[in-house]
Amino acid sequence: MLRYLVRRTLFMILVLWIVSVLTFVIFFKLPVRDPAQQIAGKGATAEVIANVRHQLGLDQPLLEQYRRFAKGLIPLPGFWLNEQVYYNWTNRVAVWEEMRRDFPYTAVLTFGAAVLWLAIGIPLGIISAIRRGSVWDRAGMVFALIGVSAPTFWLGFLFLWVFHYGLEMFPGSGIPPQESLWGSVLQGRFFLPWLTLAITSAAFYTRMVRGNLLETMSEDYIRTARAKGLSERAVTYRHGLRAALTPVVTMFGLDVGILLGGAVITETVFNIPGIGSYAIRSIFQFNFPGTMGVTVFAAFFIVVANLVVDVLYAYLDPRVRYE
């Protein structure tokens, strides 16, 4: 298992490196506009632009530029997103500083939504499966269909319209800068974003749990469990659900990993200053260090989530063993 972890970690580093190279190449070799000109602003003289270019190191050879950025990706103190290179090109604040400021918002958004979608998706899936064909099942499937088909931004605006503007139950979008994160949570500012993010996932989870459970309940070992004389409850929960939920763990881990790297659409719709918003801002402002930082950060969560899921899977399914 240890050997496996070591090798997986090496593999992760390789993946992150490839991501960083791709990000770099996309930014510098496929430029829409000259970043120096963009940052210098409209009507800047050639001299100013050259000056900016020099300051940002954009006049150096490409390889040298890459070397500077790559150095900042080495996860050691002094290297890791060092401020000499990784600062926001528009306001000169360190990228690391900005990401540390924004990440808690994304984390709260993600975990709150995750709890919500598990709480909705799994029970609904179970009820739909064991009461197959009942009103519950049909209602669950209608919900799943709507949830899966509705685009996140549309759901976000719908909820704002109904619950904020209509019923005035929850605050609208935006988070006042002076308010603490916990203050915002207590104000209920996160409720609608959570709901928006949770509905789509919950719909997927409902379908998945239902499908898995139905499939599992027709397995031979379920027949064995019944033949032993176990109660239907024990058969469903101890034998059926145990096997049916294992793949859900995989999906859950990956979903959380992806969202921690920024829930772009939801953060934008509700104007939440999280990693997703920061990513969007960095891209539009031609802030390459920010873009690079966020990309690697997001990739890091996805790769780690993958590893966690794999290790967890070995624990959940005894047939899976890593060497």
Partner 1 sequence: MAEPVLEIRDLVVHFPTDDGIVRAVDGVSVAVRAGETLGVVGESGSGKSVTFLTVMGLVTSRQARISGQVLYRGQDLLALPPGELRDVRGRRISMIFQDPMTSLHPFYRVGAQIAEAIRAHDRVPKEEANRRAVEMLERVGIPRPRERARQYPHEFSGGMRQRAMIAMALALNPDVLIADEPTTALDVTVQAQILDLINELKHEFNTSVVLITHDLGVVAEHCDDIMVMYAGKAVEIGRAEDIYYRPHHPYTWGLLSSIARLDQARERLEPIPGLPPSLINVPSGCAFHPRCRYAFDRCRTEVPALLPADGFHASACHLPLEEKERIAREEVVARGMSTSVEPTVTPPAEQATQPLVRLRGIKKYFPIRRGIIFQRHVGDVRAVDGVDLDVFPGETVGLVGETGCGKSTLARVITRLHDVTEGTVEFEGRDITRLKGEELRLIRRDMQMVFQDPYASLNPRKTVGSIIAEPFRLHRTVPKHRIADEVKQLMELVGLNPEHYNRYPYEFSGGQRQRIGVARALALRPKLIVCDEPVSALDVSIQAQILNLLEDLQQEFNLTYVFIAHDLSVVKHVSDRVAVMYLGKIVELAEGGALYEHPRHPYTGALLSAVPIPDPHLAATKRRILLEGDVPSPIDPPAGCRFHPRCPRSRALAREQGLETDHVPLCSQTEPELVPQGPSQLAACHFPLEDRRIVGESEA
Footprint of partner 1 (CB under 8 A): 7-8, 11, 14, 219-221, 223-232, 234, 239, 242-243, 246, 316-319, 323
- The span from the CA of 128 to the CA of 149, in Å, is 19
> 252: burial class by Cβ within 10 Å (0-12, 13-18, 19+)?
buried
Minimum Å distance from CB 184 to partner 1? Answer: 42
Nearer to partner 1, 187 or 246 (CB): 246
**Tokens 């298992």 found at:** 1
When the beta carbons of 113 and 302 are compared against partner 1, the nearer one is: 302
**Quick check: 156 and 270 in contact, CB under 8 A?**
yes
Which of residues 27 and 322 has its CB atom nearest to partner 1 in the complex?
Answer: 322
In angstroms, the CA 185 to CA 112 distance is 10
Q: In the complex with partner 1, which residue's Cβ is closer, 90 or 246? A: 246
The C-alpha atoms of residue 57 and residue 71 are separated, in whole angstroms, by 14
Structure tokens at 111: 């975990």
Q: How far is the CB of 258 from partner 1 (least distance, A)?
A: 21
At closest approach, how far in Å is the CB of 306 from partner 1? Answer: 12
Angle of the 135-149 helix axis to the 95-130 helix axis, nearest 10: 150
Contact (CB, 8 A) for 158 and 151: no
Q: Name the minimum Å distance from CB 8 to partner 1.
A: 7
Choice between 55 and 134, CB closer to partner 1: 134
- Least distance CB 225 / partner 1 (angstroms): 7
